[in-house]
Amino acid sequence: MRIALIQQKNSENIAENISKLEQNLRACAMQGAELIIFQELHNSLYFCQTEDIKNFDLAETIPGYSTRLFSNLVKELGVVTVLSLFEKRAVGLYHNTAVVLEKDGSIAGIYRKMHIPDDPAFYEKFYFTPGDLGFQPIKTSAGNLGVLICWDQWYPEAARLMALNGADLLIYPTAIGWDLSDTKDEQARQRDAWIAVQRGHAVANNLPVITCNRVGYENDLSGVTSGIHFWGNSFVFGAQGELIAQAPDNEEFNLIAEIDLSHTEKLRRIWPFFRDRRIDSFGDLTKIWKG
């Protein structure tokens, strides 16, 4: 199966961001992609660099503006597409949500980001209520999509639950970058850790892992931090943890890759991890800490 990830640099101009996404979506579909992934919060800047109530104006309903816009295009192109947007669920209730569009333009399902970060320049707890839909794959003509979002990627539990619930692949729209006040060595360690933990999910679950990150510098309008240099590096690992494709760290890129969903069953026969899980001893995974 051919897939595509659209790694993009966004500006304050939402119409322009959307226009670029439309062009990229067309270009990826022309190249035969059956499944196309957008980065986290696809149409705007990463506004969580500061806590500002004006940013709630960016939120939209599902269905709403973005889903209608891309439903039409997706239907025309016949590709399953994963959007990520700022969901306005009710007055004063917002989520960080991925929407999966089936190739006929219908909404196949949504995933609401379960793990919400909060650290300098990533003030997401101000904006997003943690998801309440659990870790349920979304059934599509391109497979059961285990869609998770950004901070979720650090949690082996999230990947495992998607696998246990029947995911055929794991997909992470994301927005992560460097603070350039860190040393080059520290920056490299952070990026490598980010890749390593997700590669680990591929191996542990015998599933492909597809991660689409944004790229380019975005200023911190509050002036508190020096802004974020989103590090790109969108990647695809196969079900054995083998690197299939990786985008550069400094430019917009449509990453096209071939994945083989039949590899999972072969792997699960030679290395049958799921046969042997000691579920009788896993109860404490539902605790925050010992005792």
Binding site for a second copy (CB under 8 A): 114-117, 119, 130, 134-135, 151, 154-161, 164-166, 189-190, 192-193, 196-204, 240-242, 270-274, 276-279, 281-290
| Six token digits for residue 85 | 């947007």
Any idea which residue has 């001893």 for tokens?
281
DSSP state for residue 123 in the 8-state scheme: -
Any idea which residue has 């007055």 for tokens?
91
Catalytic residue, chosen from 34, 40, 87, 218, is 40
DSSP state for residue 72 in the 8-state scheme: H
Q: Residue count of the chain, please give it.
A: 291
Rounded to the nearest 10 degrees, the angle between the axes of helix 156-164 and helix 184-205 is 20
Q: For the chain, state the CA radius of gyration.
A: 18
Q: Is-contact 147 82, C-beta < 8 A?
A: yes
- Shortest distance (Å) from residue 208 CB to a second copy: 13
- Shortest distance (Å) from residue 98 CB to a second copy: 16
Task: Please confirm, yes or no, whether 102 is among the known catalytic residues.
Answer: no
Using the minimum distance from each CB to a second copy, give the nearer residue, 28 or 207. Answer: 207
Q: Is-contact 162 146, C-beta < 8 A?
A: yes
Catalytic residue, chosen from 9, 88, 103, 113, is 113
- Shortest distance (Å) from residue 207 CB to a second copy: 12
Using the minimum distance from each CB to a second copy, give the nearer residue, 64 or 200. Answer: 200
Contacts of 14 by beta carbon, 8 Å cutoff, 6+ apart: 43, 44
Using the minimum distance from each CB to a second copy, give the nearer residue, 10 or 198. Answer: 198
| CA nearest to 161, candidates 133, 137, 143 | 137
How many degrees, rounded to 5, is the angle at CA 110 between CA 75 and CA 32? 35
Using the minimum distance from each CB to a second copy, give the nearer residue, 223 or 283. Answer: 283
Task: Please confirm, yes or no, whether 184 is among the known catalytic residues.
Answer: no
- Shortest distance (Å) from residue 188 CB to a second copy: 9
- Shortest distance (Å) from residue 238 CB to a second copy: 9
Task: Please confirm, yes or no, whether 48 is among the known catalytic residues.
Answer: no
Residues with catalytic roles: 40, 113, 150
